[in-house]
Amino acid sequence: MIDVRRNHGRPTLRRRLMGAFGSRALLMAPFLALGTAALAQEDWPQLKTNQSYIEEIDRQTKLAIDDPMAVFAFVLNSLPDRVKIYPTENYYYFTFVHDGVPYNGNIRLDASDRDQGKLHFAYSENMAEWRRATALTYRLLDASNGVTVEKLERFLYRVTYGGRSVLFALNDLTQVKPPPDALAPGETFVGPIADESGLRFFLVFNEQLKIFLYILDETAEVPERFDSSPRTDRIQIGRRTGFAFYQDDRLPRKILIGVFYTNSQVNNYFDGPFDQLPDNFMEGEAFREMLLKVEPSLKGQIDRFGGSPDGAQRYMIAPYFYYGSIDELTAFHRCATDPRVPAADYYACFVADEQSQEQFKLLPLALKKIKSGKRSHRR
């Protein structure tokens, strides 16, 4: 750092100092320019090129793709010594290309059994709109497979296989809470969510309406930019994720109302936060009790995380609509501004009726209640 100060000495001395400084400035200019460029590069985006993509798919690779343990060894050995799992259902996602074919998969440290030394591993060829059916390879791994999972701290685990160990740091969001003005009367904060899309949410439960809502967490920087729907600026759509939000006109918050349908079909990072519940932060039986208020028939069939006893299925919390066109989302706004909707049912305007989702014709729960004359609930 160069400290340039005004010289209040004699004129001759001042001229000599300025002259000397001027010479040094000419000599140092290239170095200063290089320093500025280097500093700027630290904040530059990461550049990806078509050249690197083509060279990746052209590479001749050797991997026993049909052997789950060989693929697991390849993944574990390709990771650095320590990684971080951001999504809150504790999936560590990865992708790779083998013989010109793209694959994706995940290592999961499930909150329900990781402390018993278990790990979930899955991979498959990428799904695509023109070929949705791809064979999934899945294994539950533990010491019987030579895989050890050790809990070192509450949010830190060590996974070892074949002499290779990797530390997996879970996403510690214990201090993340919604602002006091982000919860409506009668709502309970279930927990914080970090989605694989990079967005964070607050999952809330409205006991009176028996509905769940995903509220955008804006307490930290949101890595997204939004465009307003042509129909109303209350509806805002993420340029990167395609997630659609409704700007609550009662509280300073954005409610997730839409996920682009094709993203859900190909199961990419933008398929919605239904698969990233706040498992690490659920205490006791509170969440199961909420689910049973919505679906009493599930009594005795789900664990405290909402999963089936065999772990094969989990209760899906997806109140939003899978949209194909932005105009479809306008139904949420019509409901929110419909004078027939009682004030107490306002937030039921942002939950899509399950049957209407199946028919791809959005009907918010609050309007279905008016049409049917009886209360209808959706997970």
Q: Taking the domains of the chain in order of start, what are their residue ranges?
A: 50-170, 180-372
pLDDT, average across residues 84-96: 98
Long-range pairs of 117-126 with CB within 8 A, sequence gap ≥ 24:
117/142, 117/143, 117/148, 117/149, 117/150, 118/142, 118/149, 119/147, 119/149, 119/159, 121/68, 121/72, 123/68, 123/71, 125/101, 126/95, 126/102, 126/266
Q: What is the C-alpha to C-alpha distance for residues 115 and 279, in angstroms, rounded to an integer?
A: 14
Is the confidence at residue 11, as pLDDT, over 70? no
pLDDT, average across residues 273-294: 96
Q: What is the C-alpha to C-alpha distance for residues 128 and 65, in angstroms, rounded to an integer?
A: 20
Looking at residue 2, its pLDDT comes to 30
**DSSP letters spanning 98-123:** ETTEEEEEEEE--TTTGGGT-EEEEE
Q: What are phi and psi of 107, to 5 degrees?
A: -110, 125
Q: Judging by DSSP bridges, how do beta strands 148-153 and 156-161 pair with one another?
A: antiparallel
pLDDT tens-place string over residues 56-78? 999 999 999 999 999 999 999 99
The proportion of the chain whose per-residue pLDDT surpasses 90, expressed as a percent, equals 81
pLDDT tens-place string over residues 180-231? 899 999 999 999 999 999 999 999 999 999 999 999 999 999 999 999 999 9
CB 104 within 8 A of CB 65: no
pLDDT, average across residues 144-163: 98
Looking at residue 40, its pLDDT comes to 62
Looking at residue 311, its pLDDT comes to 75
Q: What is the C-alpha to C-alpha distance for residues 377 and 362, in angstroms, rounded to an integer?
A: 15
CA dihedral 171, 175, 176, 179 (to 10 degrees): 180
pTM score, whole prediction: 0.86
133 vs 103, more confident: 103
Looking at residue 310, its pLDDT comes to 79
C-beta atoms surrounding 239 within 10 Å: 9
Looking at residue 110, its pLDDT comes to 96
**Whole-Å CA distances, 149 to 85, 144, 282, 344:** 15, 12, 22, 48
Q: What is the C-alpha to C-alpha distance for residues 297 and 35, in angstroms, rounded to an integer?
A: 66
Looking at residue 27, its pLDDT comes to 41
pLDDT, average across residues 131-140: 90
Out of 33-47, 177-191, 235-249, which region has the weakest mean confidence (pLDDT)?
A: 33-47
Looking at residue 41, its pLDDT comes to 77
